[in-house]
A and B are shown apart, each in its own frame.
Chain A
Amino acid sequence: MINLKINDKPLSVEEGTTILQAARKFKIDIPSLCYTPLHLVSAHNMLASCRVCVVEVKGRRNLAPACTTMCAEGMEVFTATQRVINARRTVLELLLSDHPMDCPTCPKNMHCKLQDLAERMGIRNVTYKGETSRKNEYSSNDYPIRLNPAKCILCSTCVKICNEIQTCGVLRETKRGFHTQVGAEFGIDLSLTNCVSCGQCINVCPTGAISQSSEVDKVWKALANPRKHVVCQVAPSVRAALGEEFGYNVGTSVTQKIPTAARVIGFEKCYDTNFGADLTIMEEANELVERLTKGGKLPMITSCCPGWINFIEKNYPDMLDLPSTCKSPMSMQGSMIKNYLAEKMGWNPDDVVVVSIMPCTAKKSEIKRSQLAHCGYSDDDYVLTTRDFAQMIRETGVNFDTLDSSRFDDPMGESTGGADIFGNSGGVMEAALRNAKYVLEGKAGELEIPGIRGTTGIKTDVVEIAGHKIRLCAVSGLGNARKILEEIRSGKAKYDFIEVMACPGGCVNGGGQPYEASKQSVTVVKARQQVLYNEDKGKIHRISAENESIQALYRDFLEKPGSEKAEQYLHTHYEDQSLPQNKFKI
């Protein structure tokens, strides 16, 4: 233990504790900006670049950044002397002097650490005014991730996430000095880079420098058109986090408020993407059984996550035979709405608008894939993130708290517990195995696989189904996916079934989830996961094959999993999207 004094208060902390950690532990808050703990991925962004958290250390010539300075025996720290306050204020004013200050229209308005700090420090006037370094301008609106370097405070947390955690290597500091900015190399558009649009950079960005594209305006326009049948589908993870946007505690389920809210907004129908998830399981479990029993290509890797699909297409084009050919639940459901349900409902498919409410930014790129269209109709039309959806709800003026409970619309409103857990890392795999066991053994059997639950990046387990020992690996975070792919390539890893989700912890921690609690916190992600596990537990049916609406869909239209029609509407293929420069890599 190390003994020190902060503001004359004697404290004891463990060795290796920073001044900032020590102070916060003892309820002395030192304002900080660029320091970002990333507990979920066992990392910290602590470059000490913003210099907001400076404190006075007795005997030291200059002020010390509390975020990186380690506590030492006998140290005397002062966190609020005039010298400290003046320095902190000046540094903050300097940051503000090079900031656009258009808070009311900023995509991160009210979710901005810089704004919070300016308020906390009571900055009403910026002494040092002058030239601004970068243009206040967002990059192309079409791409899910939007950069506005003018709002960047150069904390480089996104750089860390993009390079070290997701290993996509897209975001970097470019240029020098006053003109330093974060972006892709040579300032090229993100769509031309290795970016997979996972959106983790958006979640960790403390300001409005990285945000998502928004199709809210287009959705309002479609809703205003009386000719259109605007329907929505809502992904499982949305219900585990939407409440946070309305002041509910993290880990509160708001499943039953969602359909009511959707109807208030004006959606004609509100379907549950869980239905699509059950459908995915029917197809994916079938594919797994086929590959296992008929000597198909193994390991089979799940394909629900668009960030992951972008990643493998861009980085491992030689391994595109590994992912399952199943479309994602969103695309399966969109396809079924347009190609099956529309006719049943008597809608002209031309007038059907499918709006998918997702925890994800990569979904915005998924709907643009040419593979995911039939007869000129793309499976889905618009993707709204959980944040977008919350914003629309707020815009209606409805009091979320007083919304009645209601059910999703049939016939795509029924779902099993297997579908619920799709939002959690390990969940897709668990659901698929439940179904595979059901198909192969004809009975429900053990319903939970604890070994692949939780927030760890790489989880492995083995299950035995009908005499097949299936070696499992559930991966979340693309850096971990890269590790596993490299091991597969080198022959070191021997797995039969792998699940990959791009975002650490799974979709519940997706790039489109509420900002407030998304800073890679283990507690938050675990609480959101728990919501979905609870939903699963509460369901009468927990195996996708038991979903009666799914059974009806197969009776009516698809015949059986893997049928010709299923292949046509529910399966897809992957294409080499690697960048020219990646081809030269060894």
Chain B
Amino acid sequence: MAKILEKLKTREDFMAFCRANSHRLDRRKGKEDGKHTIAVCSSSGCHASGSESVYDMFKAEIEKQGAQDLIDLDINGCFGFCEKGPICKVYPEDTFYIQVKPEDAAEIVKSIVEKSKPVEKNLYTNPATGEKIANQEEIPFYKKQKRIALRNCGLVNPTSLGDYLANGGFKGFLRVLFDLTPEEAIEEMKEAGLRGRGGAGFPTYLKWDICRKSPGETKYLICNADEGDPGAFMDRSIMEGDPYSVVEGMMSAAKIIGANHGVVYIRAEYPLAVERLSSAIEELKKVGLLGKNILGSPFSFDIEIKYGAGAFVCGEETALIKSAEGDRGEPTVKPPFPAQKGLFGKPSNVNNVETFANVPYIYGHGPEAFNKIGSEKSKGTKVFALAGKVNNVGLVEVPMGTSLREIIYDIGGGIKNGKEFKAVQTGGPSGGCIPSSLIDTPIDYEHLSAIGSMMGSGGMIVMDEDNCMVAIAKFYLTFTVDESCGKCTPCRVGNKRLLEILTKIVEGNGTEEDLEDLENLSLVIEDTALCGLGQSSPNPVLSTLRYFRDEYEAHVNQKICPSHECKALAKYAIDPAKCIGCTKCARNCPVNAIHPTDKPAKNPKLFIHKIDEATCIKCGTCANNCPVKAISL
């Protein structure tokens, strides 16, 4: 980045600064200048699979092969294809390397130095055709994606303000700061049709407008970075891969609603996101884009980071505010809404990370660029954390209205190990399970809630035939019971009782009455709980009851688990026709539950074996060891 000697004081200063940085992404965008860049993904997913040592090894190899003048080594934000990490990209060729190990570095560097073909072994293989794909855009995982919130992730060095500017950063903010009145800006947001990406889908323009009109000198703008759904990491990746867009989104929103103080409430378990955001804020303060009288305008804004202790309920805005105040993170009754009485009793506006990340795009490209994407009432794109029994696990951003089928099969590459697709869970613990019959449902706020689930923050967990839906409901209830704040009765005691009934059912002790109780209690909790967490906590139960009642009934009436997932209901048996009497099962049984019968096996010297059900602990060791697959559930 060009050295900044003085703070940027005017719009012209800023424009000059942008021009000085405009070339920064040229090579990454394919412009040849005789040199190359290797960019290693530095986000949490790839970090966990060892990208740091890959980076170190690249550094060593570049030196070793004397390529310092030829190759720049850099970092990137999240590419989303986390399953295939660590991911590296070589520019300007735009070669997309997956599962790069430190020992692969030498060959990759060599291929650049020698201008030879890309290293095949680290290229993506299309499972359908077996062909190697070197270019990111051609990988099926990316083909149907449309990256707006993630537009910079995987493109820029997340720690570089210059990179961010080079891809159009702060263009939107500049308009909001100088060219648009707050009314006009809100009108644009209305036209764009952005809705809250935290889950509830409240129109962003309306939220801003209410807070803007709320009387009061001091107002707060809060970024909800307390992402808490199990398996969700959209916000985390955005903050790690493109922190500046979140900050810019906050700055625009603050200018519009008239807030001078910003707070990012972020969970402390996201150390890298905290680090990236803090350094982005520091950098912006240094250049004068945060602070007093930004670029000579009357607008002043600062941002403070507050750490959350990882309570799921603190993603609920009133609980978040309580926690940010230093109090116990418990939701409060609405009204008063945060826009009337929020942080420290002042009007406050809370949006989540992904919402803010969309804002710069909308003001930078105009509302039409945004609202032409998506479905009728849900505009733009949504990022999902695709996980579970799907081939391609990772972060995907798709236009609203994309069908579940497209995500699971086209982007996700279908179900693992050729199993049958059973259901997909969206919306995290507050969402519901969608059965395979509804796989063509377009994803947007309205459609998802119509079928008993919700958009949520973007968790998407795919389940196959081996998943027991009762066990799934129990899993989510366990989470909710753990994460209930304990304030209101229905959530505190009711969810616990739901969990107890579910436990009873999966353990084979359920009755018909339990199903009735389960349903009644779920509906009462939905109807009476104080906050969004409590009101939506029975969703996993209600949606599985709605679409998979037969599974519940099988547990209750026949005492069987059709998916064989519930251990207590499992019964291992040896097929006497297949048993060869080899004794391997008996020898490996940890509780000595398998004994020979007096019936001779094929080899008359050996005997057919039998499992004593009363002793069996259903560990499955026998089935795994049987050489002739005679043991099954």
Min C-beta distance of A561 to chain B, whole Å: 50
**CB <8 Å contact, A87 and B487:** no
Q: Counting CB contacts under 8 A, is B298 at the interface?
A: no
A47 to B328, CA, bound (A): 14
Residues A180 and B497 in contact, CB atoms below 8 Å apart? no
B493 touches A178 (CB 8 A): yes
**Pick from B481, B490, B497: contact of A51, CB under 8 Å:** B490
B126 within 8 A of A: no
The answer to whether A94 touches B497 (Cβ under 8 A) is yes
Q: Is B530 an interface residue (CB 8 A)?
A: yes
- The interface residues of chain B lying within 8 Å CB-to-CB of A87 are 524, 527-528
- A223-256 vs B, Cβ < 8 Å mask (1 yes, 0 no): 0000000000000000000000000000000000
Among A61-69, A199-207, A552-560, the stretch in contact with B = A61-69
- A54 interface hit (Cβ, 8 Å): yes
Instruction: Flag B473-504 by CB within 8 Å of A: 1 or 0 each.
Output: 00000000111111111101110110010000
Q: Is A12 an interface residue (CB 8 A)?
A: no
With A83-B527, A94-B497, A173-B328 as known contacts, state yes or no: A178 contacts B492, CB within 8 Å. Answer: yes
Please tell me which one of the listed residues B481, B521, B527, B535 contacts residue A177 in the complex, with CB atoms under 8 A apart: B481
Say yes or no: A51 contacts B488, CB within 8 Å. Answer: yes
Residue of B nearest to A94 (CB): B493
- Contact size range, B: 20 to 34
Distance (Å) between the CB of B319 and the closest chain A CB?
12
- Set of chain A residues within 8 Å of B335, measured between Cβ atoms: 70
The answer on a CB contact under 8 Å between A48 and B530 is: yes
A94-B490, A128-B517, A130-B496 are known contacts. Are A180 and B528 too (CB-CB below 8 A)?
no
Q: Is the CB of B497 within 8 A of A97?
A: yes
Tell yes or no: A30 within 8 A of B by CB.
no
Contacts of B527 in A (CB 8 A): 54, 62-63, 83, 87
Contact with A along B501-531 (1 / 0, CB 8 A): 0000000000000000100110010111110
A154 close to B487 (CB less than 8 A):
yes
For residues 283 through 332 of chain B, which have their beta carbon under 8 Å from a beta carbon of chain A?
A: 311, 328, 330, 332
A86-B500 in contact given A94-B494, A154-B486 (Cβ < 8 Å): no
Cα A83 to Cα B494 with chains together (Å):
17
Q: Which residues of A contact B528 (CB under 8 A)?
A: 51, 54, 62-63, 87, 90-91
B484, B520, B529: the one within 8 Å of A86 (CB):
B520
A130 CB contacts on chain B under 8 angstroms: 496-497, 500
Smallest Cβ-Cβ distance to B485: which chain A residue: A176
Q: Is A127 an interface residue (CB 8 A)?
A: yes
Within 8 A of B (CB), among A60-109: 62-63, 65, 68, 70, 83, 86-87, 90-91, 94-95, 97-98
Give the interface SS of chain A, mostly helix, strand, loop or mixed: loop
The reply to whether the CB of A175 lies closer than 8 angstroms to some CB of chain B is yes
Chain A interface residue bracket vs B: 35 or more
Tell me which of B332, B481, B490, B517 contacts A178 (CB under 8 A): B481
B488 x A131 contact (CB < 8 A) = no
Interface residues of A in 168-192 (CB under 8 A from B): 172-173, 175-180
CA distance A68 to B483 in the complex (A): 25
Closest to A89 in B: B524
| Residues of chain A within 8 A of B529, CB atoms compared | 51
A570 interface residue per 8 A CB criterion: no
Looking at the assembled complex, report how far the CB atom of A90 sits from the nearest CB atom of chain B, in whole angstroms. 4
- Nearest Cβ on chain A to B476's Cβ, whole angstroms: 15
A177 to B312, CA, bound (A): 11
**Does A545 make an interface contact (CB < 8 A)?**
no
Chain B residues whose CB sits within 8 angstroms of the CB of A54 once the complex forms: 527-528
Q: Is A140 an interface residue (CB 8 A)?
A: no
- Bound CA–CA A83/B520 (angstroms): 11
A178 x B521 contact (CB < 8 A): no
Q: Chain B's nearest CB lies how many Å from the CB of A172?
A: 8
Q: Tell me whether B488 and A49 are in contact (CB under 8 A).
A: yes
Tell whether B333 is near chain A: CB-to-CB under 8 Å.
yes
Residues in chain B near residue A83, CB distance under 8 A: 527
Which of B311, B482, B497 interacts with A128 by CB under 8 Å? B497
Write the chain B residue with the least CB distance to A88.
Answer: B528
Residues of A within 8 A of B526 (CB): 62
Task: Note all chain B residues with C-beta closer than 8 A to A49.
Answer: 487-489, 530
**Chain B residues near A (Cβ < 8 Å):** 311, 328, 330, 332-333, 335, 481-490, 492-494, 496-497, 500, 517, 520-521, 524, 526-530, 535
Contacts A51-B488, A128-B517 aside, 10 further interface pairs with beta carbons under 8 A come to A47-B332, A48-B488, A50-B489, A51-B529, A54-B528, A91-B524, A91-B528, A94-B489, A178-B496, A180-B486
* CB<8 Å pairs between A and B, sample of 20: A49-B487, A50-B489, A51-B490, A51-B528, A51-B530, A54-B527, A62-B528, A65-B333, A70-B335, A86-B520, A90-B524, A91-B494, A130-B500, A131-B496, A172-B328, A176-B485, A177-B484, A178-B481, A179-B486, A180-B487
Closest 8 CB pairs of A and B: A180-B486, A94-B493, A177-B484, A130-B500, A128-B497, A90-B524, A51-B528, A68-B333
